[in-house]
Structure 1
Amino acid sequence: MPKQRPRGRPRGYDATDALDAATSVFWAKGYEGASVDELCRAMNMPRASVYQHFGDKQHLFLTAIDHYAKTRLEPLSQSLGPIGALDEDLQSFFDHVVTLATQDPSTPGCLISSVLSDAAGTNPLFKAELDRRFAALEACLSDRLRQSAEKLGAPAEVMAVVLASVARGLTLRARSGTSAVDLRAVGHAAARAFVDPAGT
């Protein structure tokens, strides 16, 4: 009589690898476009195991968002420093945004700005997650602005929303195929204009 396999993690299961795979599928296909079967194949897990370890598709998506934030967005906050002058740190920040959004042609844009925002719609869980992720980036930018010697034209919290909106716009343009070279030029121009709006 053949031995029964013990219950628990499926053979070949690795949480990080599985989440990386799910993140890539959602990033490339969008929430609605990513089928459960496609996710299971990419994660190398049967459907029952995916549901056991990650819940349904909605909860898997939210887990992938959290994984993405921890593994892909950390360099964005680190790039803000403060390392150099404000315009230099903002240029570095936008460079990291563009790299994230363009480095893999199969996953253009941003999982949060491009995919989660599209999926939010009338889904209260996704809308709350989108608000939380947007607020986290804006808080990070606000912290950097408060450490700057440059005079701001509005409160740091307001200017942070402006900068975050530029970053999201860059990822959306990347999603539609704008080149990294063009996007970096826009990011650098935005950083310079933010610090020196008169162009002096």
Structure 2
Amino acid sequence: MPEQRLRGRPRGFDATEALEAATSVFWAKGYEGASVDALCRAMNMPRASLYQLFGDKERLFLAAIDHYAKTHLEPLAQSLGSIGVLEDDLEAFFDHVVTLATSDPSTLGCLISSVLSDAAGTNPLFKAELDRRFAALEARLSDRLRQSTYRLEAPAEVMAVVLASVARGLTLRARSGKSATELRAVGRAAARAFLHPVRE
């Protein structure tokens, strides 16, 4: 007997491919600019199926944010490591940020820093999601800073916010058209600007 499809699920539906397609539309057009019709075309599903599977555009956007975090931001965060020289790890981190923000001309910037932050506005659900995503990156940076022997300009949790803010600024400048070469130079400078070796 053929396997019965879930109600509302299009034939040949692949959830990962659908979310990747939705992510690209939101990333390129922004939340407001991504119409439901454009999302349906990219995801290759009728409007009724989209609503059946994801609830509404708001919930689809949050699902796309989660997909983006797992597939794009987790590899970026892993570049921080814990076994290399802190300056080198931070430079690799900023290099990954720039690559993510500039590698595809149709999806410049960052879905969270560029799109979710813009969409948050007065939407409490989006605001909470933005704060959660920002805090997660800052926690990873703070953990990495605490593992180093460098003397920092401020406590690790404060410096983590500074470094995360630089990363977000790089994605915003990428969104405005700044070149990867220029942004990598900024990232290299930021990786060393606030660190001081501990003198023996």
Q: 58-67 or 73-82, which moves further after superposition?
A: 73-82
User: What TM-score do the two structures reach when normalised by structure 2?
Assistant: 0.94
Q: How big is the shift at 1:151? A: 1.1
Offset, 1:6: 7.6
Query: Aligned to 1:73, what secondary structure does the other structure show?
Result: helix
Q: Which runs of 4+ in 1 moved over 6 A?
A: none
Gaps of 5+ in 1: none
Aligned-pair CA distance for 1:153: 1.8
Corresponding residue number in structure 1 for 2:84: 84
Residue 131 (structure 2) aligns with: 131
Shift of 1:85: 0.9
1:11 corresponds in structure 2 to 11
Change (3 A) 1:6 1:189: closer
For 2:79 and 2:6, the matched residues in 1 are separated by 46
Corresponding residue of 2:55: 55
Percent identity, aligned pairs only, is: 84
SS, match of residue 78 in structure 2 = helix
Answer yes or no: is the 8 Å Cα contact 1:12–1:44 preserved in 2. Answer: no
1:69 shift after superposition: 0.2
Give the drift of 1:9: 1.8
Write the deviation string for residues 1-40 of structure 1: whole angstroms up to 9, x where unpaired: xxxx983421121000000000000000000000000000
Look up the equivalent residue of 1:134 and give its one-letter code. Answer: F
Superposed CA deviations along residues 78-111 of structure 1, whole A, max 9, x for unmatched, are 1000232111000000000000000110000000
1:14-93 aligned at under 5 Å gives the runs: 14-93=14-93
Q: Distance in 1 between matches of 2:103 and 2:8?
A: 36
SS of aligned partner of 2:184:
helix
How large is the Cα RMSD of the aligned pairs? 1.4
Name the CA distance, whole Å, in 1 between partners of 2:83 and 2:73.
18
Question: Secondary structure of the equivalent of 2:105?
Answer: coil
TM-score by length of 1: 0.94
Aligned to 1:152: 152
Q: Distance in 1 between matches of 2:195 and 2:105?
A: 32
Name the CA shift for 1:180/1:7 in 2 (closer, same or farther; >3 Å). Answer: same
